[in-house]
Structure 1
Amino acid sequence: MKSISVQQRRDRSEIPLIDVREEHEFHAGHVPGAVNLPMSTIGDHLDQLPEGEFDVICELGGRSARVAQALEGLGHDATNVDGGTRAWIDAGYAVEH
C-alpha cells in the first residue's frame, strides 16, 4: 500500500481526497476539499469513489490505511495519508468545518 505525509498531501490538491471518518468527526474539521465516505459505510458507496488516483485520510492514519489497502485490493489507486487529519492540524494547515 502506498502512503504519503500530510506535507506531501498538501502539494497534491489536484488529487481527490476521501475522508473515511464518521460524519460527526468530518464536520468537526476536515482537510479542505475532502469528501466524506465513512469507513463504516464505504462498502455501500464504492460507486462514489473517484476514477483514477485518490488519497484516503482519517483521524490518525489507521482506518485510512486499512481502507486504502482494501480498496487497492479491489483495483483502486488509493494512497494513505500518514498521520491523518490530526497530523494535518498539528502541521498548522487550515481545515474546513
Structure 2
Amino acid sequence: MREVDLNVFAAELANGAFVIDVREPEAYRAGHVPGVRLAPLSTPDAVVSALPGDRTVYVICASGHRSGRAAEHLQELGADAVSVAGGTAAWARTGRPIARGAAAEAA
C-alpha cells in the first residue's frame, strides 16, 4: 500500500487532487478536510464507479487505518490510489482547517 505524509497531501490538495474520505457520513459531517468527497466504505460499488481513471486518488479516513485498506483494495482494482498517513485526526492536530457538515459532494 502506498502512503503519503500530510505535507505531500496538503500540496497535492492545493493543486486540485482528487480525494475521498472513506468514513461514514456521520463521521464525515463531524469534521473533514475541506473539499474532500465523501465515499463511505459501506458503499464500495458506488465509490469505485465514481473514481477518475486518469488521476491519483488520495484516500483519507480518521487515522489512516481504513484509508490504507481502502487504497490497497482500490489498487487491486486498477486505481492509482494512495492513503493519507495519519488521516483527518493528524490533519487537525497540525492546525490545518477542518470543515463540518456535508459541504463536499459525495463521490
Would the TM-score normalized by the shorter structure come out above 0.5? yes
Q: Hey, what's the Cα distance between the residues in 1 that align with 2:6 and 2:24?
A: 20
Aligned match for 2:36, one of 24, 34, 37: 34
Q: Which amino acid in 1 is paired with 2:96?
A: Y
Q: CA deviation at 1:64?
A: 0.3
Aligned match for 2:69, one of 66, 69, 77: 66
Q: CA deviation at 1:7?
A: 1.8
| RMSD of equivalent CA atoms | 1.0
Q: Hey, what's the Cα distance between the residues in 2 that align with 1:62 and 1:43?
A: 20
Partner residue, 1:82: 85
Q: CA deviation at 1:43?
A: 2.8
Equivalences, count: 97
Deviation digits for residues 41-85 of structure 1, max 9, x if unmatched?
Answer: 123331111232110000000000000000000100001001000
* 2:95 counterpart of 1:92: yes
TM-score between both structures, scaled by the size of structure 2: 0.86
Q: Which is further off, 34-43 or 53-62?
A: 34-43
Q: Which amino acid in 1 is paired with 2:18?
A: P
Partner residue, 1:6: 6
SS of residue in 2 equivalent to 1:46: helix
Q: Which amino acid in 2 is paired with 1:57?
A: I
Partner residue, 2:45: 43
Output aligned runs, 1:11-26, within 5 Å: 11-13=11-13, 14-26=16-28
How many percent of aligned residue pairs carry the same amino acid?
38
SS of residue in 2 equivalent to 1:12: helix
